Structure 1
Amino acid sequence: MARLHSDQLQQSLNKQPLAPIYLISGDEILLVQEACDVIRQAARASGFTERECYYVDKQFDWSILLSSVNSLSLFGDKRIIELRIDSGKLGADGSKAILTYVENISEDNVLVVITPKLDSGTRRSKWVKAIDKVGYWVPIWPISASQLPRWLGQRLQQAGFKANSQVIELLATRVEGNLLAACQEIEKLKLLAPDRCLSPELIANSVADSARYDVFSLVDKALSGDSRGAVRTLNGLRSDGTEPLTILWSLGREIRTLMGVYDEMEQGQSFSWAAKNAGVWEKRQPLVQRALHRLSQKQLTLLLRQANGIDKTIKGLRNANAWNELIELTLNLSGVQSIHPHNQRLSLQL
């Protein structure tokens, strides 16, 4: 299957005829919706004026799809057929239906299959391989915290705004992890700033804090050395009601992974081999490598002891504040030495 980045989709549709099938996969609802909109617009311009949409669950009758494909449109128009598969799993009947569809493609139909992010097993499935031969796969990747300012800058520019880096960074902190809220805020700013000039004061006073926080983002920010962003995410998780044990588990797992990679490298293995052997995805390897350049083996050992101490605190075996200790652990993993190691060792013995 020819993979198309979502940014390349519009260009492909402008230069090439419509493919008979498009597979759109991803968990970022806004970007998935925008990719579908681009395909619909191109299809309508090519004479596909009817649209049928099916929501697929475990009880879905796949014969409905094949019957619709084989029946003539009421007015003889070309059709866009959308399959929204919430789980990303088709089952035996669904896989068979897609295989049958691929073997009997009609020029009067364009099929758009919309799924969440596909796991490795699904990507190797027969129905995906069948689409591989005739269509395009558009994987929608989430916008990371480091990519968000650039993404926001492009959106603001498209909306005609003039915004400096300070404005963009402030907006990013308010809408992090919530692209839909970001677009809504940009629409609101059109009313508040008709001259299209944005100031930090306007953003601070008018843009609601709609950021969404997750544990994985916390870990990635800590690994990258973004101590301020990591602590902000930690505080957001606390406000959202996330259990401290969940956060500790994620941080502790990452510390153990770093120690495992470090040990393999000490034995003469390359970083890439050691990271792969430790189960680090290729996309996350630069983060892990950056952290290892910043943290020594001795520091990692102390971080693990610190995590063990927090575990005892959460379980009521130590008299300390778990959230304060999680902040210290996050700062230390980010490369900020919050307290002297000697004092830290003493505190863990209390």
Structure 2
Amino acid sequence: MRIPSTQLASHLSKSLARFYLLFGSEALLIEEGSDQIRVAAQANGFSEVIRYSVGIDFEWQELRDQSQTLSLFSSQRLIEIRVPSGRLGEGGTAALLDFVAEPTPDTVLLVLMGRLDKRTQSSRWFKAVETAGVLVDARPVSFQQLPQWIERRLRAHDILTAREVSARLAYYVEGNLLAASQEVDKLSLLLGPGANLDLKTLEAIVADHARFSVFTLVDACLSGDVARSVRVLGGLRQEGTDASLVLWALVREVRSMVTISRHLCEGRSRQTVYRQCGVWSSRGPLVTAALARHRPNFWTGLRARLLLAEQAIKGGTRVVGGPWLELERILLRICGINNLWFKS
């Protein structure tokens, strides 16, 4: 059988197979899935864990020997095999086919691989595992799915929140699953079980982190708040924040605005475009305000100015006032202040 990683916990609560293959592009989900299988195996009496990592000199005969040899420490065991390269080779496919054909009742085999292409997923050994064992697909979590994923993680820590809050956190971590997991863990430690996380609390918690303060800066300039934009930028500079971090946040936002502007000019509905581009309702008014202040070609032209700022930060180009003043000019331009668009 084949299941997504999100259904693994439900599957393990009902049964424990003798063969699991975890694969996919989300390393975090693969690691968490393997943890779940180990816990389930332990609960079912498979107390001994034997681990292998497959390199170029790995002998697959070891798997055959291990699965057929009685353990001195436990009557049941879990054999875990990591395949970092994602390639089994002839010896590996033969060994897995042998195990599938004659599974050992006192052994659970867990194979961990990365992303597998369509050709591999159409291979004989892969199909055999799908028939006799369990394939666990660690599928990527899309930006649109991430808020719900964050909500589930928070609920697991007994923390309640609204979709807008989880959407804002998804925006802060720019869709990075590992970063989202780490932030949820931090929030659980700070808030404790039974807490209710609202938007104000989230922003207060992340306000001290430069990585998240740059998003506050971006929101300020999108809204057209000149005073706040200058204040936040100055604070980041005084705290020793790398100018390249500010530039990265601006480049990320401008790219998004270019895409949004293009889609709106094509006649698509604003609601559809915002949803596809990951603009949640709490940020919708900010983006709408920025779009109203500037014509579509403004955002395209701004990319050239961002490139100049990048060159200035790297020391390859001199600009009037230096890189930080150039970043301020870009922010003010986004705010709608036109007369400060200095030439370098």
| Bucket of the pairwise TM-score, normalised by the shorter protein | 0.5 to 0.7
Per the TM alignment, residue 298 of structure 1 is displaced from its structure 2 partner at its CA by 1.4
Q: In 1, are the aligned partners of 2:247 and 2:310 still within 8 Å (CA)?
A: no
Letter in 2 for 1:287: C
CA shift, 1:80, in A, is 1.3
Q: Which residue of 2 aligns with 1:310?
A: 309
Identify if the C-alpha distance between structure 1 residues 172 and 252 changes in structure 2 by more than 3 Å, giving closer, same or farther: closer
Q: In the alignment, which residue of structure 1 is the partner of 2:320?
A: 319
Give 3-state SS (helix, strand or coil) of 1:137's partner: strand
**Alignment partner for residue 287 of structure 1, among 256, 277, 282?**
277
In the TM superposition, what is the alpha-carbon distance from 1:253 to its structure 2 partner?
Answer: 10
Q: CA deviation at 1:82?
A: 0.9
Identity of aligned residues (%): 20
1:183 is matched with: 185
The root-mean-square deviation of aligned C-alpha atoms, in Å, is 5.6
Aligned to 1:18: 17
The residue identity in structure 2 corresponding to 1:155 is A
Corresponding residue SS for 2:70: coil
Q: What does residue 2 of structure 2 align with?
A: 2
1:154 deviates by: 0.7
In the alignment, structure 1 residue 42 sits paired with structure 2 residue 40: yes
Q: Give the letter for the 1:156 counterpart.
A: H
Partner of 2:335: 338
2:71 aligned to 70, 73, 98, which one?
Answer: 73
Amino acid at match of 1:154: R
- Aligned residues between the structures: 300
Are 2:22 and 2:135, in contact at CA under 8 Å, matched by a contact in 1? yes
* Alignment deviations for residues 280-325 of structure 1 (CA, whole Å, 9 cap, x no partner): xxxx991279999885531332222323332443421433543565
The equivalent residue for 2:228 is none
Letter of the 2:5 counterpart = H
Distance of aligned partners of 1:43 and 1:60 in 2 relative to their CA distance in 1, 3 Å threshold: same
CA spacing shift, 1:60–1:122, aligned 2, 3 Å: farther
What residue in structure 2 maps to residue 279 of structure 1? none
Measured after TM superposition, the shift of residue 102 of structure 1 is 3.4
1:110 has 2:100 as partner: no
The 5 A counterparts of 1:28-177 are: 29=28, 32-74=30-72, 77-91=75-89, 93-116=91-114, 118=115, 120=117, 124=121, 126=123, 128-134=126-132, 135-139=134-138, 141=140, 146=147, 150-151=151-152, 153-157=154-158, 177=179
What is the CA–CA distance in structure 1 between the aligned matches of 2:41 and 2:85, rounded to whole Å? 26
TM-score (norm. length: structure 1) = 0.58
CA distance in 2, matches of 1:110, 1:137: 15
Deviations 1:139-192 (A, max 9, x none): 1656967457524531331xxx6x677xx88x969x9626357536635766xx
Provide structure 2 residue ranges, at least 5 long, that are not aligned to the other structure. 174-178, 226-231
Any idea what SS the aligned residue of 1:337 has?
helix
Q: Which runs of 5+ in 1 are unaligned?
A: 276-283
Q: Which amino acid aligns with 2:10?
A: Q
Matched, 1:297 2:296: yes
Cα deviation, 1:39-98, whole Å, max 9, x if unaligned, reads 223333444333212233344333322321233334772321111334444455444543
Q: Deviations over 1:105-144 (max 9, x none)?
A: 333322212245x164686474545433332214165696
